[in-house]
Structure 1
Amino acid sequence: MNLSADSPLFRDVVDLERQLLDPSLRHDGAWLEGILHEQFYEIGASGRIFDRSEAINLLTVEDTDAPALHVVDPSAVRLAEDLVQLRWATDGTRPALRSSIWIRDAGRWQMLFHQGTLMAQPVATDARSEIAPSADRDDVCVLRKLKFTDAAAVHEAFTSHPDMARQGDVDTPAKARAYVDFLLGNDQVQCPLAITINDRLVGLVCGTVDRSNANAWIWYWMHHEYRGRSLATRAVAALVDHLFDELGLFRLELGLRANNPGSRHVAESNGFLPEGIERGKFLVDGERIDVYTYARLKTDPSSNVQPLPLQLA
């Protein structure tokens, strides 16, 4: 059965493919072990077959300066209840046609198979999927204060994917305005910063501050179509520096669902250390999900993440 481009399953599988193309994730061996099925194998463009361990070893030592690739013109077929084939292409100097098979095992989707075939001609730019907008060379990505005028972009982000409902009830323009009003009206507690591309909000990072104990709870979200570009990771790095250096805080905390490897990568890349597991805390689609708790102290080692430029003026 062909999956429509607006179906949640289609978007979820495409988003996983995009994460595998994100240099900040595809070089993380532990993350790769979680997303590649134990029986995974790949047929490369040369015809060589790679097993799971070989693929992980090659990806973790890949050139970090290589140009980012993008998921182009994807289509998907649901082969069985827990089996999806995704057909797509990558752009760049070596464009390729690709096919991958995703299997749902123990409640999570993992890649079971991948094959790529080089194309003779580059992928047409007008074929690039709207699901994975690429970063234009002239794009300006900046972290700035949240504004009242960001409400429309906040509403767009919260309606970009069903999983945004986990971040709050913001499914109408009026609720978006109330959401922004609340954050800006509690500036002694909330420190909301907008992740922007060309000054348009595409995500948010925030510290909910406990000044009496010099602590803060960190949280963040991204518009679905702008995930997988390391913007949240770099935004958290900038927020951490601001809370430690400018607000004089000592301890930063956050929590994330055990089935959210992207959020886990954001936390661990920024030097947050695991402190515990809240077992079965959330009920998601009828399944109890653990929550991992993390914290970072001002005295902990700094991370190597390049922060987004922060503009507070």
Structure 2
Amino acid sequence: MEAERTLAGGTVLRLLRAEDAGPLADAYSLNGAHLAPWEPQRPEGHYTEEGQKHAVAHSLGELVRGTELPLVLAQGESIVGKATLTSIVRGAFQNAHLGYWIAERVQGRGIMTEAVAAVLEIARDGLGLHRIEAATLPRNMPSQRVLAKNGFEPYGLAKAYLRIAGEWQDHRMYQRILEP
């Protein structure tokens, strides 16, 4: 499966690597306040290089097990975002959940919209998936625009779906059926 794509402005969407722990810690450090309203609260050490080494190792283990596709958005040596398919289920379902974030300094340039399109292509052609789900906070209009531009359809509101920023919060649910 070919997972590397060059996107707008030379941003590269590629598989997560063990050596990304340091650049990810840097990205989280630079974008902590930007991401805080949209992310679960995590232990303080999670955002350090050591914490990211553990997180990366976990994701790479899930990749080997076939339950996750962890991708990063890189500009040179810097990480400016992530796009990850998680909870990949095979059999009759052929489904995964999509999550993503992008650095504040590159937000609004269409990079994530293009990255999600590439992830959908990989999911369909590389992984043989049929359906991708995504969830956003109802007030997260930029994320909803990314999904809409990529053909996702809303299908409901999940009450108290995820604990984000320390509170159980409702999420708008989206799906995209991947046509062959």
Relative to the length of structure 2, the TM-score reads: 0.80
Which residue of structure 2 lines up, in the alignment, with residue 238 of structure 1? 118
Q: Of 150, 164, 183, which residue of structure 1 is paired with 2:59?
A: 183
1:154-303 mapped onto 2 (5 Å cutoff): 154-159=24-29, 160-165=31-36, 166-167=39-40, 169=42, 170-187=46-63, 188-208=66-86, 209-212=88-91, 213-281=93-161, 289-299=169-179
User: Counterpart of 2:22 in structure 1: which amino acid?
Assistant: A
Q: Secondary structure at the match of 2:173?
A: strand
Q: Of 20, 43, 47, which residue of structure 2 is paired with 1:150?
A: 20
Q: 1:183 to 1:284 in 2, by over 3 A?
A: closer
User: As a proportion of its length, which structure holds more helix?
Assistant: 2
For the aligned residue pairs, the C-alpha RMSD in angstroms reads 2.4
CA drift of 1:206 comes to 0.9
After superposition, give the CA deviation of every residue in 1:71-113 in whole Å (9 maximum; x if it has no partner): xxxxxxxxxxxxxxxxxxxxxxxxxxxxxxxxxxxxxxxxxxx
Instruction: Tell me which structure has the larger Cα radius of gyration.
Output: 1
Q: Which runs of 5+ in 1 are unaligned?
A: 1-137, 301-313
Choose 159-168 or 246-255, whichever is displaced more. 159-168
Relative to the length of structure 1, the TM-score reads: 0.48
Q: Distance in 2 between matches of 1:244 and 1:184?
A: 21
Matched residue count? 163
Which residue of structure 2 lines up, in the alignment, with residue 141 of structure 1? 11
Q: Distance in 2 between matches of 1:158 and 1:216?
A: 25
CA drift of 1:298 comes to 1.6
- The higher relative CO (CA closer than 8 Å, separation ≥ 6) is in 2
Q: Secondary structure at the match of 1:299?
A: coil
Q: 1:285 to 1:247 in 2, by over 3 A?
A: closer
Q: Distance in 2 between matches of 1:206 and 1:195?
A: 11
Q: Distance in 2 between matches of 1:259 and 1:281?
A: 14
User: Counterpart of 2:146 in structure 1: which amino acid?
Assistant: V
Q: Distance in 2 between matches of 1:222 and 1:168?
A: 18
Q: Secondary structure at the match of 1:276?
A: strand
After superposition, give the CA deviation of every residue in 1:30-57 in whole Å (9 maximum; x if it has no partner): xxxxxxxxxxxxxxxxxxxxxxxxxxxx
Give the percent of matched residue pairs that are identical in Structure 1 and Structure 2: 29
Q: Secondary structure at the match of 2:82?
A: strand
